[in-house]
């Protein structure tokens, strides 16, 4: 029997690899951000990140850059469509849409968007394991590959004074976040940011899971820490917003395939 010839490799440039899309007009970019925002909210609903009316994800408008799109007050994450989203200006007034804005969403997110021009999106909710970690007033420790994305790149807002409704408190949270991708709000929950909606949503989802892993590992025993040099190296590999965007795409595919009406 003659030896079969092994198949030729496909040239790498002919293999599919998704990258964040670029848009020519503000209108196209706005539509894109709103679609991604509605999808991220649906995923937060699917993952059980809702606690009553708490929780919001915002996306900066590409044209009116001191305005942001956000989920309407009092509507389930699980039902959000693109046309439900509201546009809020720098004074907290709704300028597009027919629903109220959550005052905490405005107080916190307006100050984050103001302090961080690089940030397109910010995500916050009262997810269970994030809240549990926040109750301990602790940061994430470098105990798994995934959590190294947050190594020396998240902060603790080490205060709690009630539901955030004033802009001064939002300013203090933005100051605690600093240049990082995430902040643990003590006795409250998690907040993440990104240069795309997908990145901010991915950081939130993976941070919540990392909180769960840390709590489980520490409850079971004494986790082994990754050494500083390796934790930094892993962060440099995994910890950028493009890596977050790439990691998030399977989730975007899932939610838009199973709930295509969210784009309506
Ligand atoms: Zn909150």
Tell me whether residue 18 is exposed, middle or buried, using C-beta atoms within 10 angstroms of its C-beta: 0 to 12, 13 to 18, 19 or more. Answer: exposed
Position 185 scores a pLDDT of 98
Looking at residue 2, its pLDDT comes to: 73
11 alpha carbon to ligand 1 midpoint, in Å?
A: 48
Q: What are phi and psi of 212, to 5 degrees?
A: -60, -45
Sequence ranges of the domains in the chain: 24-257
CA of 212 to the centre of ligand 1 (A): 19
- pLDDT value for 166: 87
Q: How far is the CA of 17 from the centre of ligand 1 (A)?
A: 36
- Write down the pLDDT at residue 11: 94
Q: How far is the CA of 174 from the centre of ligand 1 (A)?
A: 14
Cα 218 to Cα 131, 139, 203, 213: the distances in Å are 16, 13, 22, 8
pLDDT at 107: 94
Protein residues placing their CB within 5 Å of the ion ligand 1: 54
The pLDDT of residue 1: 64
> What's the CATH fold of domain 24-257?
L-fuculose-1-phosphate Aldolase (3.40.225)
Q: What is the separation of C-alpha 230 from the centre of its chain, rounded to a whole number of angstroms?
A: 25
Residue segments in the chain with a per-residue pLDDT below the cut of 50? none
What pLDDT, on the 0 to 100 scale, is given for residue 186?
98
Residue matched to tokens 């699980």: 78
Retrieve residue 135's tokens: 């109750």
Distance 169 CA to ligand 1 centre (A): 12
**Ligand 1 center to 132 CA (angstroms):** 13
Write the pLDDT tens digit of every residue in 101-139. Answer: 999 899 999 999 999 999 999 999 999 999 999 999 999
109: phi then psi, degrees, rounded to nearest 5: -70, -35
């Amino acid at each position: 029997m003659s030896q079969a010839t092994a198949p030729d490799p496909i040239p790498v440039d002919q293999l599919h690899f998704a990258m964040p899309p670029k848009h020519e007009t503000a209108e196209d970019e706005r539509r894109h951000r709103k679609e991604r925002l509605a999808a991220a909210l649906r995923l937060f609903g699917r993952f059980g990140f809702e606690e009553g009316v708490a929780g919001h994800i915002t996306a900066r408008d590409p044209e009116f850059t001191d305005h942001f799109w956000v989920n309407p007050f009092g509507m389930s994450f699980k039902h959000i469509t693109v046309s439900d989203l509201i546009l809020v200006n720098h004074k907290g007034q709704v300028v597009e849409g027919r629903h109220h804005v959550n005052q905490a969403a405005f107080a916190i997110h307006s100050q984050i968007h103001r302090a961080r021009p690089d940030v397109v999106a910010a995500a916050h909710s009262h997810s269970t394991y994030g809240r549990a970690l926040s109750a301990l007033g602790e940061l994430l420790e470098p105990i798994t590959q995934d959590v190294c994305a947050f190594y020396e790149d998240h902060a603790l807002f080490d205060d709690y004074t009630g539901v955030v409704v004033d802009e001064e408190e939002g300013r203090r949270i933005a100051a605690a976040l600093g240049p990082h991708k995430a902040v643990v709000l003590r006795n409250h929950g998690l907040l993440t940011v990104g240069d795309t909606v997908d990145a901010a949503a991915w950081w939130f989802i993976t941070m919540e899971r990392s909180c769960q892993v840390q709590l489980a590992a520490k409850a079971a025993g004494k986790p082994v820490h990754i050494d500083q040099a390796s934790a930094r190296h892993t962060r440099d590999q995994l910890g950028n917003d493009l890596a977050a965007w790439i990691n998030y795409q399977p989730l975007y595919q899932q939610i838009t395939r199973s709930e295509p009406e969210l784009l309506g």
